[in-house]
Amino acid sequence: MTPFILTFLAFFVLLPASHGRGEDLATSSSGKASSLIFPSYYEEAGRGRHWYKVTPPPPEKPELEPEPAAPSLPVPAPLTPREVLKKQGEVWEDALARAVLHPSADNYLEYLRLTSAIQAQAQQFATGFREAIWSAPEYDYTLVNPVRAEAISAKNQAALQQETADLGTVADRYGLVFFLRGDCPYCQRFAPILKTFTDTHGFSVLPVSLDGKGLPEFPEPQHNALLASKLQVDVVPTVFLVDPVRNQLLPVSYGYTDASTLAKKILWAAENLKNDKNKFGSFVKGERPAQDANAGSVLPLLSAATTIRGGSR
């Protein structure tokens, strides 16, 4: 046989064997993996040749209820100016207490730092306040009530001049009734003050003694217990301001009084009499109580106070 024929026959003899072995190798190595990933037709024969694989829908996730929101913290309101100052004071006091109870260089320095800040703040306020008054003098308290010695002296002098003029005007219309006792030590000290005052300003004085005795300055007083009783005089010395034209009067002074205070009280009483504010309304208007037959003796005494500066009304 020729070599060609022998080669051809050997190819057909060996081909089935190698084919079988290769198929076995393919099946053994990759068949298992492919059958797991892609099942063969024979393994899925029950489904038929033509089929669609329906992917089941994913399970629905249950809706979660929203978690309750955490309660919001209240926003602190801004402090008022008064609260700020109060807080500053509390911080300063805490620093002072800390420095006293726990003495240390740091605590001392913290207290000094806060003290310096507060002093600077106060100085800034004082400077601004002063400059504001300079720009608005109508709010300057010292213009009406000066604080410097020279200004105080000038104000007092002007006030004294005005008071003297006012007392002269009052003395032209009103008189004084002076209740006294000859043995009263307060009357003895007050009588020279009253005498000098009335001579200076021109007041006429009607002295009325409760014990019938006089004083060196008023040696011949009237004695009228009824008048003292009507005016409810139970202490001496006592001074009344009298309007003899209208028969009205008001108490001015009870007990010892200096000249300056006496002047102010007389001006006050004169203003009240001018506005018909008298304490002894019905009596001083000259209305005699029917049950008192001797009440008529009171009015002549009041009328005796009409002689002022040598004249009569």
Measured distance CA(296)–CA(300) in Å, rounded: 8
- Residue 215 per-residue DSSP state: -
Global pTM exceeds 0.75: no
Q: Give the pLDDT confidence score for residue 40 in this predicted structure.
A: 55
Q: Which amino acid is at 211?
A: D
DSSP-derived pairing of the beta strands 205-209 and 175-180: parallel
Burial class (CB in 10 A: 0-12, 13-18, 19+), 153: exposed
Q: Which amino acid is at 181?
A: R
Q: Give the pLDDT confidence score for residue 260 in this predicted structure.
A: 92
Q: Chunked in runs of 10, what are the mean pLDDT values of the chain (313 residues)? A: 56 50 46 50 55 70 73 76 93 96 96 95 94 91 88 90 94 93 94 95 93 92 86 91 88 93 94 73 39 39 43 34
Q: Give the pLDDT confidence score for residue 70 in this predicted structure.
A: 63
Sequential DSSP letters for 74-108 = PPPPPPPHHHHHHHHHHHHHHHHHHHHHS--HHHH
Task: Say if residues 166 and 269 touch (Cβ distance below 8 Å).
Answer: no
> What is the widest separation between alpha-carbon atoms in the chain?
199
Which residues are registered as beta bridge partners of 238? 179, 254
Q: Give the pLDDT confidence score for residue 290 in this predicted structure.
A: 32
Q: Give the pLDDT confidence score for residue 65 in this predicted structure.
A: 76
Q: Give the pLDDT confidence score for residue 120 in this predicted structure.
A: 94
Q: Give the pLDDT confidence score for residue 273 in this predicted structure.
A: 87
